[in-house]
Chain A
Amino acid sequence: MPEPLIVARGLKKRFDEFEAVKGIDVEVQPGEVFGFLGPNGAGKSSTMRMIACVSPASEGTLRLFGMDPAVDGAKIRARIGVVPQLDTLDTELSVQENLWIYGRYFDLSRAECRRRATELLEFAQLTDRADSVVEHLSGGMKRRLSIARSLINEPELLLLDEPTTGLDPQARHVLWERLYRLKQQGVTQVLTTHYMDEAEQLCDRLVVMDQGLIVAEGSPRELIDRYSTREVLELRFGAGTNDQFGPQVAGIGDRFEVLPDRVLVYADDGEAALAEAHHRGLRPESALVRRSSLEDVFLLLTGRSLAD
């Protein structure tokens, strides 16, 4: 096994009294795409900021490339690329100037900055917007520029905090494709998301985070196999009546969950579960059988849905 790129042991982050990250253990291998999946407030960004060496750990140990951020923060930052949750693009500069000055922060020569900026604008499909003011870009373009900017130092490790939040589906797919290309080039990636489809699409391995703790770890497939059934039956009763009908599915399949808008029945054979429900005289307004997803894993582990 190669040396892990990131090792965290008992990592904590406190803001005054409040503990946002309550002691997590993480290892990320070179070449891997690793995800933190969790709802808002889980502590994903706090963790990412510690890994990015922009926020000191309150407790525990953290090593990147075998170095300690408290000692060699600048050296580590020289080797990583960071896409923060909220874009920190320089709105007083043009698109390509943003790339140039960022390269200068990494001590690249002006000629090298220009060369890489041209390539990255191509990569981010922003070549024709090179001279635009950043303020006039769409959300998707800004996000692509943020990613392009994070690549100016040819990082070995890329940190992406909610790379696609707030983007329309098409823009998300463009981004996913770009990130997949980087993976093929061997760039290690750590990303956070609260979209389970994003985590399933992109991550080789992920941890589920909730209230500052890691509650599960594995590949998307492993997590689903371990924590959920093969299929899920979704029953929608009339508005406000899910509570009332929910308990009547008890005993069908392995277990069930009652959500405000639907009842979920976990069963390896969804069709059989549906037949049983009909047999019991239940008449939902709609019924749907689907495969289990990370959303279900999350619901099982935390009792809450990711969207909250």
Chain B
Amino acid sequence: MSDTSIVLRIIPVSYLSALGVRRPHRMIERHVMAYRRQWLIVVSGFFEPLFYLLSMRAGVGDLVGDVSVAGRAVPYDAFVAPALMASSAMNGAIFDSTGNVLHRLKYARIYDAALATPMGPADVALGEISWALIRGQIYAIGFLAVMAAMGLTESWWCLMALPVCALIGLTFASIGFLGTTYMRGWSDMEIVNTLMMPLFLFSATFFPISSYGDWAWVVQLSPLYHGVALVRACNAGVWTASLVVHALVLLVISVVMLAWASRRIDRLLRR
């Protein structure tokens, strides 16, 4: 029996292939090839959240002092760091799944070329989202390392923030990818930028949810809020039942968006 037939016997693989997913990794291979020459662009994505973190420590942290979270006093930079980590997972995923995907979809026509081969629309959709995830994970690992070096991590539980960031990445990459299939052109990227800013600022990123008062329910509509809550819990190593809800919200959004995006890309590319 050949290697492939053994692999194909494993149930998840055959389940995926029933959905038309066989070669999502080829899309990733293509991007690795393309980015070999542009590795600086990849590396640069790491610095923006890092600069935020440094500015929090140097300036804002001194002014604000400690923040009370679940009855504990936490230094401001340790409060904000997990939120920045979650935000950078969101930013990376959105960045990859909107602008880059739009370029490949409408202008570079990378997918048209791929779909003339045995690759299918589901391979393209899953490949792109996986790529966004991988890139996001690289940033998350870097970010966590810096947090640890600055003494902002509280226990080994902080490592759990990595899979959580992958989940946040999955959620936003799926949303971004779906949104991109509806874009008419570059001008629609403005909408993305306009939506990202309030998400970043009002997801209990810089203030605890209690400080939003009567408006706390609005914050809860933001997927990023749920991501921030999860990363914060990982870093603190404080586990509560509400975390399951946060994770489920992200998971459900991801699955729905992913299925929808896969159908959209099929309709768009196989006209």
With both chains docked as a complex, state the minimum distance between the C-beta of A86 and any C-beta of chain B, in angstroms: 8
Query: Contact: B108 with A101, CB < 8 Å?
Result: no
Nearest chain A residue, comparing its CB with the CB of B103: A92
Nearest chain A residue, comparing its CB with the CB of B4: A107
Q: B83-123 interface mask toward A, CB cutoff 8 Å, 1 = contact, 0 = none?
A: 00000000000000000000000001110111111111000
Query: Contact: A74 with B22, CB < 8 Å?
Result: yes
Asked if B195 is at the interface (CB within 8 A of a chain A CB), the reply is no
Asked if B154 is at the interface (CB within 8 A of a chain A CB), the reply is no
| Residues of A contacting B116 in the complex (Cβ-Cβ under 8 angstroms) | 52, 54, 77, 82, 84, 88
Q: Considering the complex, which residues of chain A in the window 43-59 have a beta carbon less than 8 Å from any beta carbon of chain B?
A: 52, 54-56
| Residues of B contacting A18 in the complex (Cβ-Cβ under 8 angstroms) | none
A90 and B271 alpha carbons, distance in the complex (Å) = 21
With both chains docked as a complex, state the minimum distance between the C-beta of B106 and any C-beta of chain A, in angstroms: 12
Asked if B18 is at the interface (CB within 8 A of a chain A CB), the reply is no
Given contacts A74-B22, A93-B34, contact A105 B112 (CB under 8 A): no
Asked if A100 is at the interface (CB within 8 A of a chain B CB), the reply is yes
- One of B7-15, B25-33, B44-52, B60-68 at the interface: B25-33
A104 and B29 alpha carbons, distance in the complex (Å) = 9
Size of chain A's interface in residues, with CB distance under 8 A? 28
Query: Contact: B117 with A90, CB < 8 Å?
Result: no
Query: Contact: B33 with A88, CB < 8 Å?
Result: no
Asked if B184 is at the interface (CB within 8 A of a chain A CB), the reply is no
Asked if B23 is at the interface (CB within 8 A of a chain A CB), the reply is yes
A54 and B108 alpha carbons, distance in the complex (Å) = 17
Q: Which one of B23, B269, B270 lies within 8 Å of A105 (CB-CB)?
A: B23
| Residues of B contacting A107 in the complex (Cβ-Cβ under 8 angstroms) | 23, 118
Query: Contact: B34 with A90, CB < 8 Å?
Result: yes
Could you say which of A77, A82, A104, A105 has the most chain B C-beta atoms within 10 Å of its C-beta? A105
Given contacts A15-B271, A88-B109, A92-B108, contact A77 B29 (CB under 8 A): no
Q: A94-123 interface mask toward B, CB cutoff 8 Å, 1 = contact, 0 = none?
A: 000100111011110000000000000000
Q: A265-284 interface mask toward B, CB cutoff 8 Å, 1 = contact, 0 = none?
A: 00000000000000000000
Asked if A302 is at the interface (CB within 8 A of a chain B CB), the reply is no
Size of chain B's interface in residues, with CB distance under 8 A? 22
Interface class of chain A by DSSP: loop
Query: Contact: A90 with B113, CB < 8 Å?
Result: yes
Query: Contact: A84 with B112, CB < 8 Å?
Result: yes
Given contacts A90-B108, A90-B110, contact A74 B270 (CB under 8 A): no
Asked if A78 is at the interface (CB within 8 A of a chain B CB), the reply is yes
Asked if A40 is at the interface (CB within 8 A of a chain B CB), the reply is no
Asked if A241 is at the interface (CB within 8 A of a chain B CB), the reply is no
With both chains docked as a complex, state the minimum distance between the C-beta of A41 and any C-beta of chain B, in angstroms: 16
Query: Contact: A54 with B30, CB < 8 Å?
Result: no
Asked if A67 is at the interface (CB within 8 A of a chain B CB), the reply is no
With both chains docked as a complex, state the minimum distance between the C-beta of B88 and any C-beta of chain A, in angstroms: 25
| Residues of B contacting A102 in the complex (Cβ-Cβ under 8 angstroms) | 113, 117
A106 and B22 alpha carbons, distance in the complex (Å) = 11
| Residues of B contacting A88 in the complex (Cβ-Cβ under 8 angstroms) | 109-110, 112-113, 116
Nearest chain B residue, comparing its CB with the CB of A149: B113
A interface residue numbers (CB < 8 A to B): 15, 52, 54-56, 73-75, 77-78, 82, 84, 86, 88-93, 97, 100-102, 104-107, 153
A-B CB proximity, top 9 nearest: A105-B117, A88-B113, A74-B118, A82-B116, A92-B34, A88-B109, A78-B118, A88-B112, A101-B30
B interface residue numbers (CB < 8 A to A): 22-23, 26, 29-30, 33-34, 108-110, 112-120, 269-271
Q: A54-B112, A101-B33, A106-B118 are in contact. List 6 more A-B contacts (CB 8 A).
A: A84-B116, A90-B30, A93-B33, A102-B113, A104-B29, A106-B117
Instruction: Show 26 A/B contacts (Cβ-Cβ < 8 Å), sorted by A.
Output: A15-B271, A54-B112, A54-B116, A74-B118, A77-B117, A77-B118, A78-B117, A84-B112, A88-B113, A89-B113, A90-B30, A90-B34, A90-B108, A92-B34, A92-B108, A93-B33, A93-B34, A97-B33, A101-B26, A101-B33, A104-B26, A105-B23, A105-B117, A105-B119, A107-B118, A153-B117
